[in-house]
């Protein structure tokens, strides 16, 4: 009957002989390569002093349990975040679907623009909406829709929006927000905003969305949804463009 050989701290890879003094790194390396060390030396577990955030020493088992709890809490947090993102993606997909169904059967330009504006307001009730059109499209009397003024057209914002550097979405600075959303015109102040290019082969205009939440429109958040929104609106308005 053979007996299992217990790992020794003075094994071949760490001789307990006269020579260089053992360092903490040597001990850590040994324990890392001999995972069953405490299986053969269980009494040592009770004598170890493991530092804790509270400043008090705890046993190795208590420390491991605490670490596992922290890890489980972190995994739970990540899971909830993934679930929240999935729910937001589903909501965004449904909004795009509703917009397509709403505007697809409409034929006239004014009627199409009004339907787009109405559906956006229904899906985003707290959002300030501006649709600024270029002269490639007809003039309109639809609320919150107008021809783009010259200063805005020549601005760095619109230049960036239609450049190859961006993917048709630019988030506005505080100064740009003040230039697009006149204070007092909306029921709530606009604290963050996004601009979406409306274009096909030609530039058609810009959709502006403003939120009272300063964190709602931030770089990288919801960009794919805004790109898809711009593509749908552009596809609907494109047949009415001149030239």
Of 108, 131, 105, 107, the residue nearest 118 (C-alpha): 131
- Please report the pLDDT score of residue 14 as a whole number: 47
Query: What's the CA gap between 151 and 148, in Å, rounded?
Result: 8
pLDDT, mean over the chain:
82
Backbone angles phi, psi at 50, to 5 degrees: -100, 120
**What phi, psi does 42 have (nearest 5°)?**
-65, -25
Cite the DSSP H helix spans in the chain. Answer: 24-33, 37-40, 43-47, 60-103, 109-123, 150-153, 156-161, 174-180, 223-237
What share of the chain in percent tops pLDDT 70? Answer: 83
pLDDT at residue 192, rounded to an integer? 92
Tell me, which fold does domain 106-240 have in CATH?
Answer: Beta-Lactamase (3.30.450)
Residues 115/106, Cβ–Cβ less than 8 Å: yes
Q: How far apart are CA 152 and CA 134, in angstroms?
A: 11
pLDDT digits (tens, 9 = 90+) for 89-123: 787 788 888 889 888 899 999 999 999 999 999 98
**pLDDT at position 204:** 94
Q: Which has more confidence, 31 or 212?
A: 212
Residue 208 contacts residue 237 (beta carbons within 8 Å)? no
Q: Hey, where are the domains in the chain?
A: 106-240
pTM of the model: 0.66
> Which is more confidently placed, 36 or 129?
129
State mean pLDDT over 140-162.
91
Q: In what order do the strands lie in the sheet containing 203-211?
A: 145-147, 128-133, 203-211, 192-199, 169-171
Is 239 or 12 the better-scoring residue by pLDDT?
A: 239
Task: Answer with the residue of higher pLDDT: 49 or 225.
Answer: 225
Question: Can you give the pLDDT at residue 60?
Answer: 63
| Among candidate residues 128, 123, 130, 127, the one with its CA nearest the CA of residue 93 | 123
Inform me whether the pLDDT recorded for 135 exceeds 80. Answer: yes
Taking only the tens place, the pLDDT of each residue in 177-191 is 988 988 777 778 899
């Amino acid at each position: 009957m053979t007996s299992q050989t217990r790992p020794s701290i003075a094994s071949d890879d760490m001789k307990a002989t006269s020579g260089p003094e053992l360092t903490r790194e040597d001990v850590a390396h040994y324990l890392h390569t001999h995972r069953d060390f405490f299986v053969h030396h269980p009494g040592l577990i009770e004598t170890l002093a493991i530092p804790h955030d509270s400043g008090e020493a705890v046993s190795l088992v208590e420390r491991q349990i605490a670490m596992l709890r922290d890890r489980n809490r972190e995994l739970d947090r990540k899971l909830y975040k993934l679930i929240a993102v999935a729910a937001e993606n589903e909501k965004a997909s449904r909004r795009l679907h509703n917009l397509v169904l709403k505007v697809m059967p409409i034929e006239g330009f004014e009627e199409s623009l009004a339907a787009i504006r109405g559906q956006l307001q229904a899906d985003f009730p707290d959002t300030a909406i501006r649709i600024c059109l270029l002269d490639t499209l007809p003039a309109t009397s639809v609320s919150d829709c107008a021809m783009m003024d010259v200063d805005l057209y020549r601005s760095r914002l619109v230049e960036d929006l239609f450049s190859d550097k961006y993917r048709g979405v630019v988030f506005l600075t505080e100064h740009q927000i003040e230039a697009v959303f006149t204070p007092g015109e909306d029921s709530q102040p606009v604290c963050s905003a996004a601009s979406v290019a409306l274009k096909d082969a030609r530039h058609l205009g810009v959709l502006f969305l403003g939120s009272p939440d300063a964190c709602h429109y931030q770089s990288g958040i919801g960009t794919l949804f805004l790109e898809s929104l711009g593509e749908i609106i552009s596809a609907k308005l494109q047949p009415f463009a001149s030239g």
